């Protein structure tokens, strides 16, 4: 491949990335974005502390926004001081 072809390909790929980025960007209000972060953190906590706090539940349980409070309660009730702090953070 010569230099010109390489430059053309790089330019083409850069353009595709730029267009894809524009299409995939979403406009979220602050509250929705914060809620999405809380759901993600609840999912992480469920999987990270599964054997400590959630061992009696299905490991493939899908955590939704309705489950955030439940995850926080289980972390604070059945875990260590570390899990208690994670649960408290989820409640905020």
Domain membership flag for residue 19: no
Cα separation, 30 vs 35, whole angstroms? 9
pTM over 0.85: no
Q: What is the pLDDT of residues 11-67, one digit of tens each?
A: 888 887 776 655 556 677 889 889 999 999 999 999 999 999 999 999 999 999 999
Q: Is 56 exposed, middle or buried (0-12, 13-18, 19+ CB in 10 A)?
A: exposed
Q: What is the pLDDT of residue 22?
A: 59
Domain membership flag for residue 23: no
Yes or no: say if 39 and 64 are a contact pair by the CB < 8 Å rule: yes
- Number of domains the chain is built from: 1
For residue 42, the enclosing domain spans 30-92
Q: What is the pLDDT of residue 3?
A: 67
Domain membership flag for residue 2: no
Domain membership flag for residue 61: yes
Domain membership flag for residue 34: yes
Domain membership flag for residue 1: no
Yes or no: say if 73 and 86 are a contact pair by the CB < 8 Å rule: no
């Amino acid at each position: 491949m010569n230099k010109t072809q390489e430059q053309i390909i790089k330019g083409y790929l850069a353009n595709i990335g730029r267009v894809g980025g524009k299409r995939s960007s979403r406009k979220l209000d602050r509250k929705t974005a914060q809620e999405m972060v809380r759901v993600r953190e609840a999912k992480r906590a469920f999987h990270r502390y599964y054997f400590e706090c959630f061992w009696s539940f299905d490991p493939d349980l899908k955590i939704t926004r309705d489950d955030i409070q439940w995850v926080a309660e289980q972390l604070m009730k059945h875990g260590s001081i570390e899990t208690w702090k994670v649960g408290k953070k989820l409640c905020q």
